[in-house]
């Protein structure tokens, strides 16, 4: 890569562009997980859902020629995974965290199984909108080439933030998440609400996967997700189950994930693998900094097992 | 469930003399065998349906799996070789599980244990073989122990969720290994596949006499037996089981829960690190990216299938090692992707977890209920 005249300024610029590019799957997975966790369950299987969504979207886009149909198929596949998690967790003695781990492995296994024939062909990409047309510098144009899913994700974050507080559905979700007993006293069935919440969470994670295979990095490989689904779960805790916080944290994580490639693009290759670990280290540091043994987390849904 | 209802005096009160105590003894223990076995069978039936749906013959698949994993002395040895790291990787999940922790990042401890052992083997080169191999084992144990012990410490002292932190640390460990193997520890002669310097032949671990299986299998089985003794027969194991049941109750009893958690997680990680050391010393001959072969993840399944009982891990690791070993043959003979085995593992995992809901629900396994059907209402 050549740094045409802007030298080291290329690093923050590439990180900004990278943050927008890399953060989109984080936004969708974390918003989905926020809905699920607000209902009092945790779905660690979103990592598997993300991978399966990526494969489904790519396969359908290759076969139909339409990336939007691929996106729809990925959302539907994610919905199925989410509904399955939500259904199986209602049985006594079935642990939501363990089922999540199992679905993480199962989702990836299924995706590799069906995805084998789709590693070679190329699928049409999801469209991006060039916001950088005012500039002559190619790096600026590249950084501001924003995919429509990023914009949809941003709008969704604002909508969910509003909906959690101001709609009947948001209230029901929060009641179920805070106390099953209170929900039952109100005549709500916690299992049904959690089933729906986990299903929607899975569908959003599927969309995140579609972004991975249909825009950035934009191809289907077995290593397409390296823990994004899992980091997004940690990110929800950091964001205190607030959709706007999820959006901000996703941008932060995207920037950290773009650090390695950004440095590489200006010729820094020393310690590439350590920079590659930056998002994981950042997640871990944030988890350590924001957890406390003596008090429960502010804003945590009362029924959530992971914060107890 | 069974344990909570049946204190020693209850059967006497109910007139247990009508039933032979041996039958009661068997009934109480049968549940732990029958339910996982039934789940295993259900999982395999579901997998048959899946295979039939993609247009292949389930019968041929299981026949191929049997031949590839268990059908001949050659394939049994292959399965046993794969079971060796699985035994240790499963202990990395099972030991913390007895304390109520779900640690799933064993892969990271395996990888770092392997790198530490390889570095030690190169650094100590020249010393007598016995000492070098011992030092490599200690290096692997220590690296894995520190890595997963840190997960336990973060859990107890900072309330950081151990499931997520251990998996994040596995990704960090793999990045660290890639950095070390491609940078500071790289053997300049390894061009296509960056590796550490190869171990001298004298420092490699050989095969068990008469078998084509390395000594790692024996190490793994001993580790499982020691872990079982630790949990069932020592006061630390007893304390861990109390803390696993209820942390607050354990603290009220004056148990040092913190050191217990750190100690158990460190030991668990140490076993996984040892698995990495064995992969380096007995299989690879140097540390490279092949260390992240997924044993850590299959180990999670082994531990859950064995219900975190270290003795049960031994047969389960053999079973899954065999399924793993047959993957190549299934791919060649039946023209199915290599991920077929992953699908089967995933299905078995889900079914096994689902089967948890059936514990304590069957009258046949609970002699206290044989004469008192009215007690059943509470459990059904």
Measure the CA–CA gap between A270 and B341, rounded to whole angstroms: 38
What's the CA gap between B278 and A12, in Å, rounded? 44
Q: Which residues contact A197 (CB under 8 A, 6 or more apart)?
A: A35, A36, A38, A39, A41, A86, A173, A176
Average pLDDT over residues A117-137: 84
Distance (Å, rounded) from C-alpha B326 to C-alpha B264?
A: 34
**Structure tokens, A303:** 């029924």
Q: Residue A1 domain-assigned? A: no
Domain holding A162, by residue range, is 7-307
A80 contacts in B (CB within 8 Å)?
A: none
How many residues make up chain B in this entry? Answer: 380
Select from B21, B274, B329 the least CA-distant residue to B138: B274
The answer to whether the CB of B219 falls within 8 A of the CB of B274 is: yes
Q: CA of A109, closest CA in chain B: separation in Å? A: 5
Residue B167 touches partner A, C-beta closer than 8 Å: yes
Over its C-alpha atoms, chain A yields an Rg (Å, rounded) of 20
Instruction: Verify whether the Cβ–Cβ distance A116 to B337 is below 8 Å.
Output: yes
Burial class (CB in 10 A: 0-12, 13-18, 19+), B373: exposed
For B207, phi then psi, to 5°, come to -95, 155
Asked whether residue A155 carries a pLDDT value surpassing 80, the answer given is yes
Angle at B129 between CA B126 and CA B132, to 5 degrees: 75
The predicted pLDDT at position A306 comes to 65
pLDDT for the residue A79: 98
| pLDDT at residue A273, rounded to an integer | 82
Question: Mean of the pLDDT values across residues A87-107?
Answer: 93
Structure tokens at B286: 């140097």
Interacting residues of B304 by C-beta distance below 8 A, sequence separation 6+: A98, A102, B93, B349, B352, B353
**A208 interfaces chain B, CB cutoff of 8 Å:** no
Contacts of B301 in chain A (CB under 8 A): 105
User: How far does B102 lie from chain A, in Å, by closest CA?
Assistant: 8
A307, B311, B319, B353 from B79: Cα distances, Å: 40, 18, 8, 25
Q: Does B294 touch chain A (CB under 8 A)?
A: no
| B29: CB partners within 8 A, 6+ apart | none
- Which of B66, B115, B157, B58 minimizes the C-alpha distance to B272? B115
| Whole-number Å distance between alpha carbons of B311 and B20 | 28
Q: Residue A3 — pLDDT band, cuts 50, 70, 90?
A: very low
Task: Write the residue in B175, B339, B346 that is nearest to A102 by C-beta.
Answer: B346
Judged against a pLDDT cut of 70, whether residue A295 lies above it is answered with: no
Q: Do A116 and B339 touch (CB under 8 A)?
A: yes
- Per-residue CA distances from B72 to B59, B67, B79, B221, B322 (Å): 18, 7, 10, 22, 11
pLDDT score for B7: 44
C-alpha to C-alpha distances, B133 to B136, B198, B277, nearest whole angstrom = 5, 14, 9
Question: d(Cα A232, Cα B332) in Å, to the nearest integer?
Answer: 38
In 3D space, the residue among A179, A187, A163, A181 whose CA is nearest the CA of residue A34 turns out to be A163
Which helix (H) or strand (E) segment holds residue A2: the answer is none
The answer to whether B105 and B148 are in contact (CB under 8 A) is yes
Does the residue A219 lie in any domain?
yes
Chain B hits for A292, CB-CB cut-off 8 Å, are 158-159
pLDDT at A246: 95
A vs B, Cβ pairs < 8 A, gives: 134
For residue B210, give Cα distances in angstroms to B73, B213, B278, B314, B346.
12, 9, 19, 21, 35
**Is A299 among the domain residues?**
yes
User: Does residue B264 sit at the A interface (CB-CB below 8 Å)?
Assistant: no
Asked if B153 is an interface residue toward chain A (Cβ–Cβ < 8 A), one would say no
The model's pLDDT over A242-261, given as tens digits with 9 standing for 90+, comes to 999 999 999 988 888 888 77
A152 CA to chain B: closest CA distance, Å? 28
Contact B161 A112 (CB under 8 A): no
What value, to the nearest 5°, has the Cα angle with vertex B145 and ends B127 and B264? 135
Residue of B nearest to A232 (CA): B164
Domain contains A260: yes
b (16+ CB within 10 A) / e for B257-286? beebbbbbbbbbbbbbbbbbbbbbbbbbbb
- Tell me whether residue A2 is in a domain: no
Condensed to tens digits (0 to 9), the pLDDT of residues A28-81 reads: 999 999 999 999 999 999 999 999 999 999 999 999 999 999 999 999 999 999
Put simply, whether A231 touches B (Cβ < 8 Å) is yes
Instruction: Locate the chain B residue with the closest alpha carbon to A305.
Output: B161
- Chain B partners within 8 Å of A226 (Cβ): 171
Q: How far apart are CA A135 and CA A119, in angstroms?
A: 36
Q: Which of A134, A129, A133 is nearest to A145 (CA)?
A: A129
The enclosing domain of A110 has a CATH number of 1.10.3470
Q: Which of B102, B159, B171 sits opposite A226 (nearest CB)?
A: B171
pLDDT of residue B74: 94
The domain total for chain A is: 1
A95: CB partners within 8 A, 6+ apart: B353, B356
Higher pLDDT: A228 or B147? It is B147
Task: Kindly state the average pLDDT of the residues A102-110.
Answer: 95
Nearest-Cα distance to chain B for A61, in Å, is 21
Find tokens 């986990």 and name the residue: A198
Looking at the complex, report in whole angstroms how far the Cα of residue B202 sits from the nearest Cα belonging to chain A: 32
> Can you tell me the distance from the alpha carbon of B46 to that of B82, in angstroms, rounded to the nearest whole number?
25
What is the C-alpha R_g of chain B?
A: 23
Across A83-103, b (16+ Cβ under 10 Å) vs e yields bbbbebbbeeebebbbbbbbb
**Which residues 22-61 of chain A have a CB within 8 Å of chain B?**
44
pLDDT tens, N- to C-terminus, chain B (380 residues): 444 444 444 444 444 455 667 888 888 888 888 999 999 999 999 999 999 999 999 999 999 999 999 999 999 999 999 999 999 999 999 999 999 999 999 999 999 999 999 999 999 988 899 999 999 999 999 999 999 999 999 999 998 989 989 989 999 999 999 999 988 888 888 888 889 999 999 999 999 998 999 999 999 999 999 999 999 999 999 999 999 888 888 888 888 899 999 999 999 999 999 999 999 999 999 999 999 988 999 999 999 999 999 999 999 999 999 999 999 899 999 999 989 999 999 999 999 999 999 988 887 887 777 776 666 555 44
Search chain B and give the residue with CA nearest A91.
Answer: B357
Q: How far is A62 from chain B (nearest CA, A)?
A: 20
Does A306 touch chain B if contact means CB atoms closer than 8 Å?
A: yes
Cβ–Cβ below 8 Å for A101 and B156: no
The mean pLDDT value for A3-30 works out to 80
- What is d(CA B300, CA A293) in angstroms, rounded to the nearest whole number? 27
d(CA B193, CA B302) in angstroms, rounded, equals 30
How high is the pLDDT of residue B5? 45
Any chain B CB within 8 A of the CB of A87? no
B173 and chain A in contact, CB less than 8 A: no
Return the closest-CA partner of residue A171 out of A183, A158, A159. Answer: A183
Closest partner residue to A287 (CB to CB) among B164, B182, B356 is: B164
Measure B11 CA to nearest chain A CA, in Å. Answer: 26
Q: Which of A45, A46, A84, A98 to mutate to test the interface with B (most CBs of B within 10 A)?
A: A98
């Amino acid at each position: 890569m050549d740094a045409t005249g802007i030298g080291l300024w290329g690093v923050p610029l590439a990180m900004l562009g990278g943050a927008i590019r890399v953060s989109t799957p984080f936004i969708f997975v974390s918003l989905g997980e926020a809905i699920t966790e607000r209902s009092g369950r945790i779905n660690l299987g979103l990592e598997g859902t993300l991978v399966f969504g990526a494969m489904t979207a790519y396969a359908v886009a290759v076969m139909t020629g339409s990336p939007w149909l691929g996106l729809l198929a990925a959302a539907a596949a994610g919905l199925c995974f989410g509904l399955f998690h939500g259904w199986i967790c209602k049985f006594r003695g079935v642990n939501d965290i363990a089922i999540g781990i199992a679905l993480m492995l199962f989702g990836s296994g299924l995706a590799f199984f069906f995805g084998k024939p789709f590693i070679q062909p190329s699928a049409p990409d999801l469209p991006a909108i060039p916001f950088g047309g005012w500039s002559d510098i190619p790096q600026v144009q590249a950084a501001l080439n924003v995919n429509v899913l990023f914009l949809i994700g941003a709008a969704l974050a604002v909508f969910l933030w509003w909906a959690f507080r101001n709609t009947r559905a948001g209230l029901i979700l929060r009641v179920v998440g805070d106390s099953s007993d209170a929900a039952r006293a109100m005549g709500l069935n916690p299992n049904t609400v959690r089933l729906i919440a986990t299903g929607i969470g899975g569908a959003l994670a599927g969309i995140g996967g579609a972004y991975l295979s249909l825009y950035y990095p934009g191809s289907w490989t077995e290593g397409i997700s390296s823990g994004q689904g899992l980091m997004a779960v940690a990110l929800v805790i950091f964001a205190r189950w607030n959709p706007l916080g999820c959006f901000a944290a996703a941008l932060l994580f995207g920037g950290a994930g773009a650090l390695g490639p950004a440095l590489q693009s200006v010729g820094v290759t020393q310690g590439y693998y350590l920079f590659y670990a930056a998002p994981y280290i950042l997640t871990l540091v944030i988890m350590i900094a924001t957890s406390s043994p003596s008090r429960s987390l502010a804003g945590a849904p009362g029924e959530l097992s992971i914060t107890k | 469930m069974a344990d909570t209802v049946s204190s020693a005096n209850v059967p006497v009160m109910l007139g247990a003399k009508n039933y032979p105590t041996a039958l009661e003894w068997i009934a109480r223990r049968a549940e732990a065998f029958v339910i996982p076995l039934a789940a295993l069978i259900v999982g395999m039936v579901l997998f048959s349906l899946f295979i039939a749906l993609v247009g292949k013959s389930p019968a041929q698949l299981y026949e191929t799996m049997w031949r590839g994993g268990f059908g001949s002395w050659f394939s049994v040895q292959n399965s046993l070789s794969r079971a060796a790291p699985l035994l240790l990787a499963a202990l990395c999940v099972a030991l913390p599980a007895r304390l109520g922790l779900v640690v799933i990042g064993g892969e990271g401890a395996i990888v770092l244990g392997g790198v530490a052992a390889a570095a030690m083997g190169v650094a100590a080169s020249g010393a007598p073989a016995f000492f070098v191999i011992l030092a490599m084992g200690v290096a692997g144990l220590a690296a894995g122990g520190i890595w997963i012990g840190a997960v336990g410490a973060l859990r107890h002292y900072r309330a950081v969720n151990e499931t997520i932190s251990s998996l994040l640390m596995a990704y960090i460990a793999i990045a660290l290994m890639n950095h070390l193997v491609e940078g500071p520890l790289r053997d300049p002669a390894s061009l296509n596949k960056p590796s550490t310097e190869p171990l001298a032949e004298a420092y490699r671990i050989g095969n068990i006499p008469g078998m084509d299986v390395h000594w790692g299998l024996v190490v793994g089985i001993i580790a499982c037996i020691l872990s079982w003794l630790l949990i069932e027969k020592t006061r630390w194991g007893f304390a861990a089981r109390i803390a696993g049941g209820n942390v607050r109750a354990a603290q009220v009893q004056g148990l040092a829960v913190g050191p217990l958690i750190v100690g158990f997680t460190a030991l668990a990680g140490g076993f996984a690190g040892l698995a990495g050391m064995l992969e380096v010393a007995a299989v690879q001959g140097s540390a490279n990216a092949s260390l992240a072969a997924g044993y850590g993840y299959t180990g999670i399944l082994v531990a859950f299938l064995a219900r975190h009982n270290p003795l049960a891990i031994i047969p389960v690791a053999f079973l899954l090692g065999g399924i793993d070993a047959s993957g190549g043959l299934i791919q060649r003979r039946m023209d199915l992707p290599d991920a077929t085995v992953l699908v089967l593992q995933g299905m078995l995992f889900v079914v096994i977890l689902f089967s948890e809901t059936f514990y304590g629900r069957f009258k046949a396994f609970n002699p206290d209920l044989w004469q008192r059907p009215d007690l059943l209402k509470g459990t059904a």
